[in-house]
Amino acid sequence: MKGIKIPEGTFFQQRVWREIVKIPRGSVMTYKALATRIGSPNAVRAVANAVGANPLVITIPCHRVIRSDGTLGGYSGRGGVSMKRKLLRDEGVEVAK
């Protein structure tokens, strides 16, 4: 949280992105945990939407956000889910399925 710049967007998105950036490398966070983190444990869908609207994949490691089941879920970035899995494995995270 020193020089990371978050692009403009809705309050929700900024809040979600802010939390995603806080995720340490080599670790993953579930959408539910993220939703609860921002104060809306039941708004997990809205959160997922905000993550999907992430314009900066290099600044915001949205690939570190996975489902509660351990699955990767989806990925709107370049390469799709395949890239997401690759990035996670690259950080040393064993991906289920």
Partner DNA sequence: AATCGGGCGTACA
Partner DNA sequence: CTGTACGCCCGAT
30: contact with DNA by CB under 7 A: yes
Neighbours of 53 (CB within 10 A): 16
Query: In terms of CB distance, is 59 or 73 closer to DNA?
Result: 73
Residue 74 C-alpha from the chain's centroid = 10
Joined tokens for residue 40 = 């809306």
* DSSP-assigned beta bridge partners for residue 66: 30
86 is a site residue for DNA (CB under 7 A) = no
| Active-site annotation holds for 25 | no
Contact between 23 and 66 (Cβ < 8 Å): no
Stretch that binds DNA, among 21-29, 74-82, 87-95 (CB under 7 A): 74-82
Rounded-to-integer distance, Cα 16 and Cα 37, Å: 9
**Out of 44, 62, 65, 72, which one is annotated catalytic?**
62
User: Please, what is the minimum distance in Å from the beta carbon of residue 71 to DNA?
Assistant: 7
Contact footprint for DNA (CB under 7 A): 10-13, 30-32, 40, 42-46, 48-54, 57, 62, 65, 67-69, 73-77
